[in-house]
Amino acid sequence: MAVEHALLDGTPARDAPLMAGIEALESILIEHEDSYPIAVIVALAHMDLGWAWRGNGWDADVPRRNRAAFDAHFERATDILDRFCGVESNSPLLAAARCMLLGGAANAHDRVADDYEDLIDLNPLNPGPMRAMGNYLLPRWFGSYDQLELEARRTAARTQDVWGAGGYTWVMFDAISGDDTACARLDLPFFIEGLHDILARAPHQHTVNLLAAYCAKTIGIAPSTHDAAGHVRSSIANCADWIIRSHLKELHPMIWAHAAQGFDNTLRVRSPRAFAASGQEDALRIIAGLFRREIAAGHKIVFTNTGPVTQPG
């Protein structure tokens, strides 16, 4: 974090202690060279430093010095992790770290599906790797639309006992939100079947809020100049109705706020309180819209342990 702040403030001073922290971690790694948890910690620190140097801009906009620092940190992280195998160690932690190396790997196109497949198989209950894989399989990263569809279906087949058709939905979740072509090519009935299966298997309110906010905000407000993608987005946005009516029991404003920003992991939130308030405002407005007929008839909407119910106003 200190390195990131120094770089954000401009060109750091030549004597700035940018390497002090990582050098201390490296000394600990020397003392515990056979410990993969420590190896992962040090490798992740190198990757964080690499991204701090590089930033999130396009390659062409990254200064040569910053790009060289990024490459050096990722090369060191690769060297550290190459001594271990997530599958052999039965470690999702190791497998996840290996996937994070893809951002600086020259052969990422060849590795992305296999690396994420290992991670998903080690930790199928966690939808995060499926979502990340779908994003990285887009052509703008390391894949293609055909590969995205193939891996989404393969993931659904491998995780059917956990998620039903939900594996397909999780892989496509972020990929279609910002890519009209991926959205237009979506197997819409399979995706919606996956939404139902996810909620049947993970009915807790975090997931309910996540899917409702995704359908209503992330997909529902996304602009599209592609007719086929527009139809898909409209159909998914309509799913917010049955998700909220059948499953929503409590509101998680922060999820709704992140959904409005496309679940951007690089987003800088200056005021968490204001950010959450914006999410709550969005959610209440959307819910009021879904129940507009009931509200117009003089009823009020009350969320109970079994979901929303209407009561006389």
Residue 22 inside a domain? The answer is no
pLDDT at 287: 93
Determine contact, residues 118/155, Cβ cutoff 8 Å: no
Which residue range(s) make up the domain with 228? Answer: 203-313
Mean model confidence pLDDT for the chain? 91
The total of structural domains in the chain comes to 1
* pLDDT tier for residue 3 given thresholds of 50, 70 and 90: low
The predicted-structure confidence for 4-54, as pLDDT tens digits, reads as follows 544 554 555 555 556 788 999 999 999 999 999 999 999 999 999 999 999
Residue 51, CB-side half-sphere exposure with 13 Å CA sphere: 13
Q: Is 11 exposed, middle or buried (0-12, 13-18, 19+ CB in 10 A)?
A: exposed
Residue 2 inside a domain? The answer is no
pLDDT at 197: 98
Residue 261 inside a domain? The answer is yes
The predicted-structure confidence for 57-83, as pLDDT tens digits, reads as follows 778 889 999 999 999 999 999 999 999
Residue 211 inside a domain? The answer is yes
The predicted-structure confidence for 137-151, as pLDDT tens digits, reads as follows 999 999 999 999 999
Residue 56 inside a domain? The answer is no
Residue 65 inside a domain? The answer is no
Q: Minimum mean pLDDT among 14-28, 75-89, 185-199, 294-308: which range?
A: 14-28
Residue 300 inside a domain? The answer is yes
Q: What are phi and psi of 196, to 5 degrees?
A: -60, -45
Residue 56 pLDDT > 90, yes or no? no
Residue 118 inside a domain? The answer is no
DSSP assignments along 158-214, one per residue? HTHHHHTTHHHHHHHHHHTTS-HHHHHT--HHHHHHHHHHHHHH--SHHHHHHHHHI
